[in-house]
Structure 1
Amino acid sequence: MEKLTFQGEDGTTEEFYVLEQTRVGGVNYLLVADSEDEDGECLILRDVAGDEERESLYEIVEDEQEQEGLLAVFEQLLDDVDIER
């Protein structure tokens, strides 16, 4: 499982495990977890970097309707994983 390190605006770093990625409406999304365990907390991250940017810039998806739609997509991609809401 791929592990990524993200740096917050305040300079702190956090590591997340990438469970899946997808592209919806021309936007890249990552489903990440804070642990490899089954009990890890999941987040959906949206790439907000422009097409001309060399590095991705992710922010947490906080809109509930957007989260629900993306969770349905990720559940189809990860048919062997049960995501609790």
Structure 2
Amino acid sequence: MEKIKFMLAETNEEVEFFILEETRINGINYILVTDSEDDDAEALILKDLSGEQDADALYEIVEDDEELDYVAKIFEEILEDIDIERE
């Protein structure tokens, strides 16, 4: 599983996530990441907000309920053996 490092804008802290899957919906890139390789790990869906000229990617956690539900269903279809539960 591929690992990716993020720099948190608020704290300048570096965190690592494992990329479970990537997809592009309506011209927007989304990634499904987890903090652990365990089966019951916490997962996040991140949305790429960076522009074409940006040197680094800029990701934001998807928090809008409708967008989150829609993208989660897409990831569940792509990853047939994964069930994404929302809290």
TM-score bracket, shorter-length normalisation: over 0.9
Matched, 1:15 2:13: no
Give the match's secondary structure for 1:22: strand
Q: Which residue of 2 aligns with 1:44?
A: 45
Deviations 1:9-49 (A, max 9, x none): 12101111000000001000000001000111000000000
What letter corresponds to residue 5 of structure 2 in structure 1?
T
Matched, 1:3 2:31: no
Normalised by the size of structure 2, how large is the TM-score? 0.92
Percent of pairs with identical residues: 49
Unpaired runs of 5+ in structure 2? none
What letter corresponds to residue 18 of structure 1 in structure 2?
I
**RMSD, aligned α-carbons:** 0.9
1:40-79 alignment, distance < 5 Å: 40-79=41-80
C-alpha distance in 1, partners of 2:12/2:56?
17
What letter corresponds to residue 39 of structure 1 in structure 2?
D
C-alpha distance in 1, partners of 2:52/2:14?
25
1:28-43 alignment, distance < 5 Å: 28-43=29-44
Unpaired runs of 5+ in structure 1? none
Deviations 1:57-79 (A, max 9, x none): 10100101100000010001001
Give the match's secondary structure for 1:67: helix
C-alpha distance in 2, partners of 1:84/1:63?
15
Normalised by the size of structure 1, how large is the TM-score? 0.94
